[in-house]
A and B are shown apart, each in its own frame.
Chain A
Amino acid sequence: MHFSSFVSRRSQTVLSFTALGVASALALAGCAPAGGADSDDNTITVWHYYSLDNQNAMLDQYKSEFEATNDGVTVENVYVPQDQLNSKLIAAVGSGTGPDVVVFDGYSATTLTSGGVLAAITDEWSGFDGADQIAEGAVTTVSGDVYSVQGYVNTLGLFYNKTILDELGIEPPTTVDQLEDGMAKATAAGHQGITLSGQPDVQGAFQAFPWLTEAGFDYAKPNADALSEGYARVRGWIDNGYLSAQAPTWDQNVPFAEFMNGNTAFAENGNWQLSSLESDATFDYGVVPLPVGTTGKVYLGGEAEGIGAFSKNPALAWKYLEETFLSKAGQLVALDQVGSLPTRADASADDSISADPYLSQFAEAIATQGAPFPDTIIPPENNEAVINANGQAWSAALGGQTSPDQAASDLIKVLEPLLQK
């Protein structure tokens, strides 16, 4: 019995090509992000999730400067979408591969360390002459070994539309009551009051923290009343029309795009948006630290850098970090391109910060309101669970899925077992 007796010649050709196509598609589908398994001695791969133009400009500048001072070396920057980076890194560990340098969301440092993604850099760090310039809170240490360092810090502030504020005779607020008065006046005049992120994930939790701590919440002694007060305050902004009810669907970039339309009085957002304001704003603008009183805090966010556990060039990778993210000149590049604030004391003392009316406000926020992210009280293995629960509670309270009281008590119920060691 021969195959060709069942199927005509033409169909055979079609079938063979289809089979070949399917086989090659399967083979191609197995390819991981490019640049993961390079064995070339002079190439280092850098995995990152930067999607804004200014962030990529900074990374490109690091690449060209490092290649210029190190003959024959190539730096390959590989983009991985933000919500996939951590899982791709952890999956790569399973196959013993991974990048040379990792630029990741700082709060994931302990998670990635326990997943075996990062190499210990204790020796390199102790031999680094800039180590004493960098604040302790910017270095992640697990069981006595250093695993990652933050080259810069990003945090939240209160952007305001100066044109609208001047027109209505409002001063930039220093207390949350003044902020609410300002929003009421702006809304009455037909503008939007404020924009912020209410997404049920880490971004929402990042933006929720200032208002929860303003109401007195503290991880050392978690208190449902403080949480409830914080949720009720911002939920009240939605009920009064100061904040759009769409906030639960917004990440951090959409609310800023809304602010850029020029019809919003205030925006809770980060210093990484400064350069796009500078180039694209059609109105006068200003920044003040978030008016969150004496107890209010802002998370010190921003990306951290480390060396991949399966890097084939750890020495070259460390040289890259020394000369870019961790050097004084490199941190000033981040400041210049993105508006990110340096973690080195010598770079922070740079005149360009104190002279800049916007950067100086963020520097003040970091100095007076900054809190480590994640909170050091949380057991590292529960960081992700805590931050997700926070994001979901924030989104549920803002979206009306639960009342502020219910969201607060639900969150406390979830947090209690997670906060015990």
Chain B
Amino acid sequence: MTYLTIRVPNWPSSALRRRGRRAAKSRWIYLVPATVFLGALAIFPLVQLARLSVSDVQVQNLNSDWPFVGVRNFIDGFSSGVLSQSLANTLVFVTIVTVVGLVGGIAAAVALRGTAKITGVLLAAMVFIWALPPVVNGSVWKFLLADDGLVNNVVNLAGLQSFPFLYDERYALISVAVVNAWAVIPFNTLVFRAAVLNVPVEQFEAAQLDGATPAQEFGNVILPALRPTTIVLAVLTIVYAFRSFDFVYVMTKGGPGTATQTLPYLSYQQAFVGYDFSAGAATAVVAVLFVLILAGVYARSVLKEESE
């Protein structure tokens, strides 16, 4: 019998501990650039925003002292109804974008889960749409939804009158929200599709053996598998929808009147059109608080999923 001798290095345990500690210490140095970036580009502006929201800052004193006024900006915003109306508009907007975005994403993912060539073409087209700058997307849709635009031309062909997509105060917000949802669907589709493709083939085979209809297959095999993805994408879509400035700016400028004025758009209007920087900051802080709460929910649900 031949024996294979293996030599194991005989390092003293204290040396091993010292080596581990040194490696641990030097690890933190690599965090410095990221911390500096985060601090300068995220934390410092947030601190300034909070300071602005509790001060009285107009054009005259933007570059000098900011007198402290406590929560007056928030009280003024809510008591005049301006902040509450924008908040209501934002919540409607977020609901539409999230629901349409998720439903559309799941539907497209289930429809495109095959590997035919047409699937690849469609997925590429969807990614193209998602990657288009919102300004371009919004401008194109503004033309499509105009009275003499393509959509209304089709409506007219069907014998109906032109539909006031963007200038009727009841429909303008819904129209902009649907366009925003349309731009979000491709991202959701890609993520959902990956989740669907991850479902083990055996489950589909078992379902077919049991004589399940496509609808039952969808309800009992696919949907449960998509649950964790749905939670994550729901929170991400909600957070994304809260930043609803670009489509509103390009398509309706907050109008007609204030019908499509969401929190980010109101903040822009107060700060950069009305030069009331503290009111704009207060509005932005309200939006940030909502997003923080939702981000907290996301973090908790991710941790819960990981521990399961």
A165 to B269, CA, bound (A): 41
Q: Which of A384, A399, A407 contacts B255 (CB 8 A)?
A: A399
Q: How far is the CB of B132 from chain A (nearest CB, A)?
A: 20
- Contact (Cβ within 8 A) A401 B169: yes
Q: Does B275 contact A (CB under 8 A)?
A: yes
Are the C-beta atoms of B256 and A399 separated by less than 8 Å? yes
Q: Name, among B23, B63, B164, B255, the residue most crowded by chain A CB atoms within 10 Å (CB to CB).
A: B255
Number of residues of chain A lying within 8 A (CB) of chain B: 37
- Asked whether A200 and B258 contact (CB < 8 A) given A384-B275, A400-B168, A401-B169, the answer is yes
Chain A interface SS verdict (over half) = helix
Are B257 and A402 in contact (CB-based, < 8 A)? yes
Tell me what chain B mostly uses at the interface: helix, strand, loop, or mixed.
loop
How many A-B residue pairs have C-beta atoms within 8 angstroms? Tell me: 100
Total interface residues in chain B, CB < 8 Å: 27
The interface bits of chain A over 241-262 (1 if a CB of B lies within 8 angstroms of the residue's CB, else 0) are 0001111110000000000000
Which of B54-62, B110-118, B209-217, B295-303 forms contacts with chain A?
A: B54-62
At the interface, yes or no: A198 with Cβ under 8 Å from chain B?
A: yes
A401 touches B60 (CB 8 A): no
**Chain B 118-158 interface 0/1 with A at a Cβ cutoff of 8 Å (1 = within):** 00000000000000000000000000001100000000000
Bound: A248/B146 CA distance, A: 12
Q: A114 and B59 in contact (CB under 8 A), knowing A1-B23, A245-B164?
A: yes
Q: Please, how many angstroms separate the alpha-carbon atoms of A400 and B169 in the complex?
A: 7
Residue of A116, A245, A249 touching B252 (CB-CB under 8 A): A249
> Of A7-15, A87-95, A180-188, A339-347, which stretch is located at the interface?
A87-95
Contact between chains at A249 and B59 (CB < 8 Å): no
| Residue B166 interfacial (CB < 8 Å) | yes
Q: Which A residue sits closest to B251, measured CB to CB?
A: A249
Closest to B255 in A: A200
Are A395 and B256 interface neighbours, CB within 8 A? yes
Chain B stretch 226-279: residues in CB contact (< 8 A) with chain A: 252-259, 269, 272-276
Contact of A200 among B146, B147, B257, B275 (CB under 8 A): B257
- Known contacts: A1-B23, A384-B273, A384-B275. The answer to whether A400 contacts B63 by CB under 8 A is no
Contact present for A395 and B60 (CB under 8 Å): no
- 10 more A-B residue pairs beyond the given contacts A115-B62, A399-B259, with a C-beta to C-beta distance below 8 A: A83-B272, A94-B62, A114-B60, A200-B257, A246-B167, A248-B256, A249-B166, A384-B274, A384-B276, A385-B274
| Chain B interface residues toward A at CB < 8 A | 23, 58-60, 62-63, 146-147, 164, 166-169, 252-259, 269, 272-276
Please report A residues at the B interface, Cβ cutoff 8 Å: 1, 83, 86-87, 90, 93-94, 111-112, 114-116, 198-201, 244-249, 381, 384-385, 388, 392-393, 395-402, 407
